[in-house]
Amino acid sequence: MLAVSAHAFDPDDPLTGLRVDEVPDPDVPDGWELVSVRAAGLNHHDLWSLRGVGLSSDQLPMILGGDAAGVTTDGREVVCHGVVAGPDGLGDELDPHTRSSLFSEHFPGTHAELVAVPRRNLLDKPPELTFAEAACLPVAWLTAYRMLFVRGGFRPGDTVLVQGAGGGVSTAAVLLGRAAGLRMWVTSRDEGKRARAIELGADDAFEAGARLPERVDGVLETVGRATWDHSLKSTRNQGTVVVAGMTSGDVERGGLPHLFFRQLQVVGSTMGTRGELRSLLRFLVTTGVRPLIDATYPLADAASAYARMAEGDLFGKIVLLP
């Protein structure tokens, strides 16, 4: 089968380790199923893998990709939940003592024509969603859903700031939050992306680091070093900063005075559970909200798709179509 794999690590030029070539079909352990991938989304996690984050050299080559939608051998249309619990993939994801991983960390990923998936990780794809739309959900959209409604606990009427406009998580957060009655603000250095965020449904958009009209109830933080101080300063007393990434790198200062003087909550969040993915699917079917797709590429041209993500000039999700 054709697959996209990491063959080497390069922190400065991650695409040098990328290969698109024929590999053996995946083994299917007991309790797993073989899925013919119809669509698979790209995520920044894939670029971090190529930089050597979360992988070791003895795991190479590793098929990349963390989310997918496809068809099982018996014709069932499915969405693949990307959190694999336990060393055999059959553990309990809700058990805090069970170590979980994502596809492409300990098990081959989804950027391939075929992928083996634990049976319990397969959810029925609603007929209302295309395969490309469904493939946007298990990583970025589920991350945004959990940040907003589970870890952040935001409620209708709250004001939430999303740091960085244009990426998969940020566009998902704007669409989900607006549909749930939140007031959604975004930041970006790019004037064009700020304008597009408003068109998408954001209530307001600000230049990165700008002083806001008022402090917000919460911030969704996936940028890290470049926006961290602004996130803390922009949150109201006893407000919440939900952190799910650091695309610009780790923070250099902790902002501790803001944390204890104003009693802020800083909450970590990663991906989401199968139950939350099921709720997200129902949310989309009920509200009519659909993922924003920046571009689609055939699997054979995955190198171009990865290059587009690395350049950062995108608005929405990039999806591979085997």
Token representation of residue 36: 């013919």
Would the CATH topology of 2-136+291-321 be identical to that of 140-268? Answer: no
Chosen CATH of 140-268 out of 3.65.10.10, 3.40.50.720, 3.40.50.880, 3.30.470.10: 3.40.50.720
CATH 3.30.750.24 fits 2-136+291-321, yes or no: no
% of the chain beyond a pLDDT of 70? 94
pLDDT at 94 over 70: no
Question: Cα(46)–Cα(55) distance, rounded to whole angstroms?
Answer: 11
What is the pLDDT at residue 263?
A: 75
CA distances from 193 to 42, 159, 316 (A): 20, 20, 11
Nearest to 138 by CA among 294, 288, 281: 281
The residue extents of the domains of the chain are 2-136+291-321, 140-268
Q: Are 143 and 67 in contact (CB under 8 A)?
A: no
What is the pLDDT at residue 262?
A: 74
Token representation of residue 15: 């695409």
Q: Is 322 helix (H, G, I), strand (E, B) or coil?
A: coil
**Bridge partners, residue 71, by sequence:** 36, 77
Please state, rounded to an integer, the average pLDDT across all residues of the chain.
92
Token representation of residue 109: 């990923």
Nearest to 238 by CA among 203, 266, 212: 266
Taking only the tens place, the pLDDT of each residue in 30-81 is 999 999 999 999 998 999 999 999 899 999 999 999 999 999 999 999 999 9
What is the pLDDT at residue 100?
A: 85
| Highest-pLDDT range among 32-36, 207-211, 218-222, 233-237 | 32-36
Task: Provide the whole-model pTM.
Answer: 0.92
Taking only the tens place, the pLDDT of each residue in 248-301 is 566 666 667 776 767 777 888 888 999 999 999 999 999 999 999 999 999 999
